[in-house]
Amino acid sequence: MEIHFEVNGKACQVETPPMKRLLDVLREDLRLTGTKEGCGEGECGSCSVILNGEVVNACLVPACQVEASTIITVEGLADGGRLSVVQQAFLEHGGAQCGICTPGMLLAATAFLEENAAPEREQIKAAIAGNLCRCTGYMKIIDAIAAAAGSRLERAD
Amino acid sequence: MISTIQAWSPRTLAEAYQLLTREQGRIKVLAGGTDLMVALHARTECPPAFLNVWPLAELRGITETNESVRIGALTTYTQLMRSTPVQHHAPILVEAAGVIGARQIQNRGTLGGNIVNASPAGDTLPVLAVLEAELEIGSSRGTRLVPFNAFYTGYRRTVLAADELLLAVILPKRRPPEQQYFRKVGTRQAQAISKVVMALRLQQTQPGRVDFIKIAFGSVAPTVMRAPLTEALLQNQTLSPARIAAAREQVMAEVQPISDVRSTADYRRTIAGNILARALYELGQRN
């Protein structure tokens, strides 16, 4: 089937089997390989993308369900060469080690800060409960998201 | 192979009914995909075609009448958590939705999907059992209401006919001072499938005195189960330590758990008793 949707602000048209995973459409058809596959069964959050404003696992969304939707992947976070506030905070606070969970963490954090501008630490933990990291121990990731929330508020003032 | 599987995306409910009638069981209904996409990828499930109901607006939305709250089958867990009528009348449904997976799953998984997927571990199912929800089921033959507690006929089996679709869940409104309680026990707080899950509704006419009680469990039997013998043991009784101890023993005899990859039968039986006892102590004191 032919599907039409928007990825990172660009209109896309892809010819794909209807049950192909959004994850594979992004990586194989659109060559957006920033979205990583971890478990492939909705447990680890590595393939998180923002779909119509909500964070979802791209491994659990079939192509036939993204017709006319808007998607943001990790490639869509930076504005040209300028990192997003969340990316910058991950960089400054050592929120990435091996990097496999990082795109998913960035998108989960970005979607979360859109709806909760001044989160408590416990709320940050809940917001990334669906994103597993095997390197950092999470502390630096949580620090980065808290710092990003602070920078966003400053920028809004 | 995934590349050969067809998916129909009807634009209206009438079109969906036509496809279901025509395909008679050769088509699998696809809602948020949080269970089916896993099964498809693991190749434990491979139907020739899917009926993608996700675009159907008729299956969305939460509405209220004087007596009830009607929840469209495609309502996601996130939408349940944010709904004022659901928060007010079924706080345990909000709690259950909040412990299913994490954000990514809550944004896609649906109440209707949890029901029709018919896993004995579905976290909303004990909640719907104690709320005595009704299910609105439709087909080209018409619409019918089925009590939730009569929906499952066995392990992963339901009364849904091949041409039928779950449309909505209807919850009776809560009448204070009714209390509700929910408890899930899993390996960790998020992203865990339940070892034991329990929902409970209790009304006390005077402190510690049971006016009515409804208790249901998930993950301890082939389907979600009510515990009628334990309910009867508590009905019109005082929540004394001795009575609570008796209820604990009774419920441990009443559940029928198995050992599997997530837990053992012994652990599940013990935990079922413990979480019920704890709930009764807490609720008895809260009133």
The interface pTM score, or ipTM, of the predicted complex is 0.97
Closest residue in A to B32 (Cα) is A61
pLDDT of residue B189: 82
Q: How many residues does chain A have?
A: 157
State the Cα angle at A97 between A95 and A101, rounded to 5°.
80
pTM: 0.96
Q: Are B233 and B250 in contact (CB under 8 A)?
A: yes
CA B48 to chain centre: 28
State the Cα angle at B209 between B86 and B231, rounded to 5°.
65
Task: For A25-42, write each residue's pLDDT tens digit.
Answer: 999 999 999 999 999 999
Question: In 3D, which of B256, B184, B177 has the Cα closest to residue B220?
Answer: B256
Residue from the list A18, A51, A57 with its beta carbon closest to the beta carbon of B7: A18
Closest residue in B to A15 (Cα) is B3
B253: which residues sit within 8 A by CB, 6+ positions away?
B229
Check if A117 contacts B (Cβ < 8 Å): no
Angle, helices A102-115 vs A85-92, to 10°: value is 130
Contact (CB<8Å) B108/A61: yes
**Residue ranges for chain B with pLDDT beneath 50:** none
Q: Are A111 and A23 in contact (CB under 8 A)?
A: no
Per-residue DSSP letter, A35: S
* Cis amide leading into B177 (omega within 30): yes
C-alpha distance from B102 to closest chain A C-alpha (Å): 5
Contact (CB<8Å) B103/A112: yes
**Both structure tokens of A34:** 């920033």
Residue from the list B38, B55, B78 with its beta carbon closest to the beta carbon of A42: B38
Q: How far apart are CA B182 and CA B229, in angstroms?
A: 20
pLDDT of residue B3: 83
Q: Which amino acid is at A25?
A: V
3-state secondary structure of A9: coil
pLDDT of residue B199: 98
Task: For B204-249, write each residue's pLDDT tens digit.
Answer: 988 889 999 999 999 999 999 999 999 999 999 999 999 999 999 9
Per-residue DSSP letter, A133: -
Complete DSSP assignment for A110-128: HHHHHH-SS--HHHHHHHT
| Predicted confidence (pLDDT) at residue A46 exceeds the cutoff of 80 | yes
Per-residue DSSP letter, B173: P
